[in-house]
Amino acid sequence: MTSRTLFLAACLFALGGCGGGSGGGGGASGGNAKPVKIVSSLPRTGSANAQTTTMVNGIRMAIDEAGGKVGELTIVYEDWDDASAKKGDWDPEVEAANADRAVKDANIMAYIGTYNSGAAKISMPVLNRAGLVMISPANTYMGLTKPGLGEPNEPDVYRPSGKINYFRVVPADDIQGRVAAEWIHSMGGKSAYVLDDRGLYGKGIADVFAATCEELGIGVLGREGIDPKAQEYRSLMTKVKQLDPDWVYFGGTTQSNAGQIAKDLIAVGLRSKFMVPDGCFEQAFIQAAGAENLNERAHVTFGGVPPEQLTGKGAEFVQRYREKYGKDPEAYAVYGYVAGQVALDAIARVGKKDREAIRAAVAQTHQADGALGTWQFDENGDTTMKIMSGNIVRDGEFKFVTILGQAAVGS
Amino acid sequence: METILQQLLIGLTNGMVFALIALGYTMVYGILELINFAHGDLFMLASFLALTLVGLLGLQSAGPATLVPALLLIVVVCAVFAAALNWTVDRLVYKPLRNAPKLAPLVSAIGVSFIFQNLGLFWGAIPLDVFGGGGAAAAPKAFPNLISNANLLGEESTLRITPKDIVVIASSLVVMAALYVFVRHSRLGKAMRATAQNPTAARLMGIDVDRVIGATFVIGGALAGFAAVIYGLYINTVNYQIGYQNGLFAFTAAVLGGIGNIPGAVLGGLVIGLVRAFSDQFIGAQWQPAVLFGMLILILVFRPSGLLGAHSREKV
């Protein structure tokens, strides 16, 4: 028994070490008014945590660089969790509670989140009714903003007030699914088997991917949704093997079992290459699949440029991040940072606690030569930046291969 | 034809793992009429122990000379660990409720299941290399590929039989055969069967029922520990939720075969493995759970006591 007690103590210690404190931000306030609050709602429990930790770090950096205040207003940041241990992933109940809590706190002027597109669907209408601005550093599902690309009632169903309060600083899946197919085409791929996790994000991106494949003359040999909680996929992979596609594409995330699919692809002796979207662009994916199973085989598209490929202000951000946290940022850290900047910038321009004015100010955002280059929000609340990158797994790390998506800019 | 053979092999191999876990459910049910919902999570904890040992012994890069004895050691340690833990849970949680209404231990078992899952979350946070440094406790963890995945029929052959498949099937068969012989012929095994038939009569005949119950938990736990190592070697992923998923299939296997019936649990496990494989091949992956549980309902409609279940296990 003593060894188990020790063991538990060790675990608790380890958890405490990585959980970090959530009360880092707010210094003593100078003015007489209550400080302005910015909150984020990201999955902090479960395997997305490594990624979201660096996003939260990015948001903190943006606030610290502004000196914790804009003009006369002191800024306090709170890092909220929208995941539960029960799910090990984002939880609809928690996200709904977060949105409610944000609406009721009159000091909250910006809501940064979510990480998962499914979670955004829940909080968007709630925040929209309250006119609270929401800035996502990671959602890529098309239907959240783009009319005609999601369900028939999207995106209006998220905008009961008729105004746009939701903005995102990452390019959406219509672009990512497209560039994935274009990348395969440019590498000479002739056929693909398309799988998805039946989730909002995974299925959406796989649909665009499959449609673009057909447009480009890449044969889609099969299209299937998997059970993301299954133990293994050997039978499915055996079926795929009989068709011998050049590529297997999986629209899904690390949390929806991309690692196991990569493993079983090898286990049944498939020779196909493997491509996944940015939901797998995190170390947890390599950890889950085992580096040797992905080596030179797994290709990952990412709705932006990986940290080490950022230039100008972006490279400076990565440099400062390393100095501050002693670690390399994960892919989405810079989007957290930019989302933080967008919120601060809008609050600065308004200069007072006025949700409606801040919402309108965010819509007018125009970042020139920022960490992600020069861009603004379009009429749907999407970023005008459309550059993406293609990466490959080599020796247990993601290696940048190519810039993608210039061709998609005009379309 | 090769496709059918291949899916048969995959189904059988997966079915073996379900069967090993199902045995733990069915044995405990046979004696106590308790569905031990914590059993799947016990299996999960043992798989974490197996991965921890693999990491501590540095087996990722070991040669066959160290690998074989080390794996045997891991099997023994995991089996002993799971057996001891299962026995302890019985003594601490289920035993005080022995004479309580049937629902009380059942609900306690669900509670133990949650405790185990959370222990698994803590365990996954240990800063070990095999756990990816422990940064993400809930993330799936890769179990290293220790047994060769090369095709024994040559890489050009479309049918694929690997040393891994053979290890899983052969070792599971040995363990199941040993269990069968033990229950059929040993003194304790006979006492178990007697207790299962009628605990009161068994006690009157001088059988120490309490000891028999303890032994059942020990054996069921040891099987789960063994299954955990096999699962890690074959599936190559562990996470804190595998207990729930595999437990669900194993429990289904036990019901399908006739709960309380030992050969029935093995048969049920194999049937489930095969149905999963063939439904993926011929129907489509998204229909797998529907096909599986639809079949379960059909079988239970026509054979309510399961494939091999006794027709009248009514106890008065």
**B72, exposed or middle or buried, with CB in 10 Å at 0-12, 13-18, 19+?**
exposed
Cis peptide leading into B199, omega within 30 of 0?
no
Chosen from A238, A253, A325, A327 to mutate, greatest number of chain B CBs within 10 A: A238
Beta strand pairing call for A373-376 and A219-225: unpaired
What length does chain B have?
316
Tell me if the domain spanning A173-302+388-409 has CATH number 3.40.50.2300.
Answer: yes
pLDDT digits (tens, 9 = 90+) for B198-240: 889 999 999 999 999 999 999 999 999 999 999 999 999 999 9
The dihedral region occupied by B194, where left means phi > 0, alpha psi between -120 and 50, and beta the remainder, is: alpha
Q: Is residue B315 part of a domain?
A: no
* Of residues B135, B239, B246, nearest to A50 (C-beta): B135
Does B281 contact A235 at a Cβ distance shorter than 8 Å?
Answer: yes
Judged against a pLDDT cut of 60, whether residue A19 lies above it is answered with no
* Of residues B151, B245, B280, nearest to A239 (C-beta): B280
How far is B281 from chain A, CA to nearest CA, in Å?
Answer: 6
Specify the pLDDT at position A28. 39
Q: Is residue B308 part of a domain?
A: no
- Mean of pLDDT values over A291-310: 87
What length does chain A have?
411
The type of residue at A6 is L
Judged against a pLDDT cut of 70, whether residue A114 lies above it is answered with yes
Phi then psi for A43, rounded to 5 degrees?
-70, 110
Judged against a pLDDT cut of 80, whether residue B196 lies above it is answered with yes
The dihedral region occupied by A203, where left means phi > 0, alpha psi between -120 and 50, and beta the remainder, is: alpha
Does B122 contact A11 at a Cβ distance shorter than 8 Å?
Answer: yes
Judged against a pLDDT cut of 70, whether residue A409 lies above it is answered with no
Confidence at A86, pLDDT banded by 50, 70, 90: confident
Q: Is residue B192 part of a domain?
A: yes
Q: What percent of chain A has pLDDT over 90?
A: 60
**B177, exposed or middle or buried, with CB in 10 Å at 0-12, 13-18, 19+?**
exposed
Judged against a pLDDT cut of 90, whether residue B286 lies above it is answered with no
Specify the pLDDT at position A305. 78
DSSP annotation of A388: E
DSSP H or E stretch at residue A376: strand A373-376
Specify the pLDDT at position B311. 52
Does B288 contact A227 at a Cβ distance shorter than 8 Å?
Answer: yes
How far is B231 from chain A, CA to nearest CA, in Å?
Answer: 10
- Mean of pLDDT values over A170-183: 90
Does B289 contact A227 at a Cβ distance shorter than 8 Å?
Answer: yes
How far is A88 from chain B, CA to nearest CA, in Å?
Answer: 6
User: A275, A267, A203, A197: which is closest to A238 by C-alpha?
Assistant: A267
Confidence at A20, pLDDT banded by 50, 70, 90: very low
Q: What is the 3-state secondary structure (H, E, C) of B166-214?
A: HHHHHHHHHHHHHHHHHHHHCHHHHHHHHHHHCHHHHHHCCCCHHHHHH
Record the tokens describing residue A377, joined without a space. 């929000």
Per DSSP, what are the bridge partners of residue A39?
A: A78, A111
Specify the pLDDT at position A2. 44
| Range(s) of the domain holding residue B201 | 2-145+163-302
DSSP annotation of B93: I
Question: What is the spatial distance between Cα B42 and Cα B21, in angstroms, rounded to a whole number?
Answer: 10
Q: Is residue B153 part of a domain?
A: no
* Contacts of B277 by beta carbon, 8 Å cutoff, 6+ apart: A234, A235, B7, B8, B10, B11, B14
Judged against a pLDDT cut of 90, whether residue A34 lies above it is answered with no
Q: Nearest chain A residue to B274 by CA: give it.
A: A235
Within the 238-257 window of chain B, which residues sit less than 8 Å (CB to CB) from chain A? 239-242, 245-246, 249
- Mean of pLDDT values over A44-49: 82
Chosen from B89, B110, B122 to mutate, greatest number of chain A CBs within 10 A: B122
Question: What is the spatial distance between Cα B14 and Cα A233, in angstroms, rounded to a whole number?
Answer: 11
Does A287 contact B132 at a Cβ distance shorter than 8 Å?
Answer: yes
Question: What is the spatial distance between Cα B43 and Cα B264, in angstroms, rounded to a whole number?
Answer: 20
Confidence at B8, pLDDT banded by 50, 70, 90: very high
Angle, CA of B5, B10 and B15, to the nearest 5°: 120
Least reliable range by pLDDT among A8-22, A143-157, A270-284, B240-254: A8-22
Confidence at A307, pLDDT banded by 50, 70, 90: confident
Specify the pLDDT at position A308. 80
Q: Nearest chain A residue to B123 by CA: give it.
A: A11
Q: What percent of chain B has pLDDT over 70?
A: 97
Q: How many distinct structural domains can be found in chain B?
A: 1
Does B122 contact A289 at a Cβ distance shorter than 8 Å?
Answer: no
How far is A158 from chain B, CA to nearest CA, in Å?
Answer: 29
- Mean of pLDDT values over B130-137: 78
User: Contacts of residue A224 in chain B, CB cutoff 8 Å?
Assistant: 284-286
Does A287 contact B139 at a Cβ distance shorter than 8 Å?
Answer: yes
Does A85 contact B10 at a Cβ distance shorter than 8 Å?
Answer: no
Q: Is residue B307 part of a domain?
A: no
* Helices (H), ranges, A131-233: 173-186, 200-216
Confidence at A386, pLDDT banded by 50, 70, 90: confident
Using the structure block, give the residue that is written with the tokens 């440094």. B133
Question: What is the spatial distance between Cα A41 and Cα A80, in angstroms, rounded to a whole number?
Answer: 5
pTM for the whole structure: 0.80
Specify the pLDDT at position A18. 40
Q: Is residue B267 part of a domain?
A: yes
Homologous superfamily of the A19-171+310-376 domain (CATH): Response regulator (3.40.50.2300)
Q: Give the rounded distance of the alpha carbon of A87 from its chain centre.
A: 19
Judged against a pLDDT cut of 60, whether residue A363 lies above it is answered with yes
Specify the pLDDT at position A49. 85
Specify the pLDDT at position B149. 85
Confidence at A406, pLDDT banded by 50, 70, 90: low
Q: Which residues of chain A are in CATH 3.40.50.2300 domains?
A: 19-171+310-376, 173-302+388-409
Q: Does B60 touch chain A (CB under 8 A)?
A: no
How far is B122 from chain A, CA to nearest CA, in Å?
Answer: 5
Confidence at B21, pLDDT banded by 50, 70, 90: very high
Judged against a pLDDT cut of 50, whether residue A250 lies above it is answered with yes
CA distances (Å), B70 to each of A202, B54, B139, B144, B232, in order? 41, 9, 26, 14, 14
Q: Is residue B155 part of a domain?
A: no
Does A233 contact B276 at a Cβ distance shorter than 8 Å?
Answer: no
- Scored b (16 or more CB within 10 A) or e, A292-302 reads ebbeebbbbbb
Question: What is the spatial distance between Cα A50 and Cα B298, in angstroms, rounded to a whole number?
Answer: 45
User: Contacts of residue B245 in chain A, CB cutoff 8 Å?
Assistant: 229-231
Cβ count near A340 (within 10 Å): 30
**A174, exposed or middle or buried, with CB in 10 Å at 0-12, 13-18, 19+?**
buried
B275 vs A33, residue with greater confidence? B275
Angle, CA of B51, B56 and B61, to the nearest 5°: 85
Confidence at A33, pLDDT banded by 50, 70, 90: low
A201 vs B37, residue with greater confidence? B37
Cβ count near B316 (within 10 Å): 2
DSSP annotation of B90: I
User: A342, A408, A402: which is closest to A371 by C-alpha?
Assistant: A342
- Mean of pLDDT values over B180-207: 93
Judged against a pLDDT cut of 80, whether residue A381 lies above it is answered with yes
Provide the CATH number for the domain around residue B186: 1.10.3470
How far is B276 from chain A, CA to nearest CA, in Å?
Answer: 8
Specify the pLDDT at position A348. 92
Query: What is the SS3 assignment for B143?
Result: coil
Using the structure block, give the residue that is written with the tokens 């106590």. B32
Q: Is residue B10 part of a domain?
A: yes
User: B58, B13, B175, B240: which is closest to A267 by C-alpha?
Assistant: B13
Specify the pLDDT at position A193. 97
pLDDT digits (tens, 9 = 90+) for A207-228: 999 999 999 999 999 999 999 8
pLDDT digits (tens, 9 = 90+) for B290-310: 999 998 899 889 988 888 876
Does B126 contact A11 at a Cβ distance shorter than 8 Å?
Answer: yes
Does A85 contact B118 at a Cβ distance shorter than 8 Å?
Answer: yes
Specify the pLDDT at position B315. 45
Chosen from B6, B8, B48, B152 to mutate, greatest number of chain A CBs within 10 A: B6
